[in-house]
Amino acid sequence: MLRGDDPQALLNWAEEYWPVIRDALLNPDDWDDQEWLSEVSELGHLYGLLKRARPTTPEERERLSRLVEDIRAVVSRYGLEPPKLPEGI
């Protein structure tokens, strides 16, 4: 767990996790079944990071918004539940 759940660190971690999960979702044939399942199962963790992220600057809010929009666009293709932005963002 991240010490203190620093909102900046949570957003950074989410931005690092998402490209790998995104690649697994969009290119399943490039992944071994076990690796694919492992990456896709990280969606819950990713959503948890997004839920706890609290952007404090307009730049951070924009980064979070873009990330969530991209995630929604990809997961909706597969009928998966999209993440929800925290209240007030």
Per-10-residue mean pLDDT, the chain, length 89: 66 95 95 94 92 90 94 92 73
pLDDT at position 84: 78
CA dist 15 → 32, 74, 83 (Å): 23, 15, 14
**The predicted structure's pLDDT at residue 69:** 94
Residue with tokens 């918004």: 65
| Encoded amino acid at 14, one letter | A
| pTM (whole model) above 0.75 | yes
Q: What's the token pair of residue 5?
A: 């759940």
What is the distance between the alpha carbons of residues 29 and 47, in angstroms, rounded to a whole number?
Answer: 24
Q: What is the pLDDT of residue 89?
A: 59
Per-residue confidence (pLDDT) for residue 54, from 0 to 100 = 86
Q: Give the pLDDT score at 1.
A: 44
